[in-house]
Amino acid sequence: MVYQYVILRKEKGIATITLNRPQRLNALSLPVLEELARSIEEVSTDREVRVLILTGAGRAFCAGGDFRDGEGSPASIVGRQELGKIAEAAHSRPWRTRGTSWALQNMDVPTIAMVNGPAVGAGFCIALACDLRIGSEDARFQVAWTRRGLTPAYGTSWFLPRLVGVSKALELIYTARMIGAEEALQLGLLNKLVSTHTLEKETMELARTVANGPPLALRLSKMNVYRGLNLDLGTSLELSAASENQLILSEDVAESARAFREKREPVFKGR
């Protein structure tokens, strides 16, 4: 499939989706969201993909919703209309299910946000929706919506308190202040903070580690963790046991045992 606003690359089980609108700091317009949704859908249905990396081109991860018109001049009315269309596309259309953040979290495969610069508003939430986040020293985060008289959208109010706690999440929402890379690491918004020139290398190394793991086990582990956030302990234990029973006779488990006996690294096939 051909895309204009995103770049989708697949190589050796690793898919990379790059928001490709660097002149606008990868801000989200309706066409960008349409292509982002289609590219995520394409990755999620490709059984050869074992991990997804999401990033932005240029010096930003994603600056959030686009408040300018097609010619780039300020246009607050057009901006509000466009944001309304974006909200409709992200939250209402059945084939989008429940929006980009929901789609990322509910993908079978693990997801990694490679945060190369500002992640603001909806861009912040897209990063939060990924399972892991690696950022460079240029990474910055901001809730942003309350600065425009809005409440956080795209699932921010669900993801953020689960990562940083209720009180800190409300502080970041109330103040809408910018969070630097070091603070993001301390808060747990970033799993790892690296230098700008090693960001891609470090992210790819993590992606390769994940891609070489047992696909079935990783997919079910992701499901167990996220579903467990809304389950009591007993139900969570039952879900975990059901997952283990599903995996115990898989070829991957047998391969793991063979590799252990033969003192080599296992080669998992996802079967």
Say if 23 falls within a structural domain.
yes
pLDDT of residue 6: 95
Say if 118 falls within a structural domain.
yes
Tell me: do 133 and 232 sit in the same domain: no
Tell me: do 115 and 13 sit in the same domain: yes
Tell me: do 64 and 187 sit in the same domain: yes
Tell me: do 142 and 230 sit in the same domain: no
Domain count, the chain: 2
Question: What are the tens digits of pLDDT across the range 141-152?
Answer: 999 988 888 888
Question: CATH number of the domain that 153 lies in?
Answer: 3.90.226.10
Q: What percent of the chain has pLDDT over 70?
A: 88
Tell me: do 145 and 226 sit in the same domain: no
Question: What are the tens digits of pLDDT across the range 257-266?
Answer: 888 888 888 8
Tell me: do 100 and 65 sit in the same domain: yes
The residue out of 169, 191, 211 marking a domain boundary is: 211
Say if 271 falls within a structural domain.
no
Say if 122 falls within a structural domain.
yes
The residue out of 181, 196, 211 marking a domain boundary is: 211
- CA 204 vs CA 29, 51, 123, 142, 240: distances in Å: 28, 10, 21, 26, 29
Say if 41 falls within a structural domain.
yes
Residue 115's nearest CA partner among 49, 222, 200, 13 is 200
Say if 269 falls within a structural domain.
no
Question: What are the tens digits of pLDDT across the range 11-32?
Answer: 999 999 999 999 999 999 888 9
Tell me: do 10 and 144 sit in the same domain: yes
pLDDT of 249 above 90: no
- CA 37 vs CA 93, 104, 176: distances in Å: 11, 10, 27
Tell me: do 222 and 199 sit in the same domain: no
Residue 128's nearest CA partner among 93, 157, 151 is 157
The owner of tokens 């495969």 is 109
Tell me: do 92 and 26 sit in the same domain: yes
Tell me: do 131 and 229 sit in the same domain: no
Say if 1 falls within a structural domain.
no
pLDDT of 109 above 80: yes
Say if 146 falls within a structural domain.
yes
Question: Three-state SS across the chain?
Answer: CCCCCEEEEEECCEEEEEECCHHHCCCECHHHHHHHHHHHHHHHCCCCCCEEEEEECCCCCECCECCECCCCCECHHHHHHHHHHHHHHHHCCHHHCCCHHHHHHHCCCCEEEEECCEEECHHHHHHHHCCEEEEECCCEEECCHHHHCCCCCCCHHHHHHHHHCHHHHHHHHHHCCCECHHHHHHHCCCCEEECHHHHHHHHHHHHHHHHCCCHHHHHHHHHHHHHHCCCCHHHHHHHHHHHHHHHCCCHHHHHHHHHHHHCCCCCCCCC
Tell me: do 230 and 152 sit in the same domain: no
Tell me: do 149 and 97 sit in the same domain: yes
Could you tell me the residue range of the domain that residue 227 belongs to? 215-262
pTM equals 0.85
Question: CATH number of the domain that 219 lies in?
Answer: 1.10.12
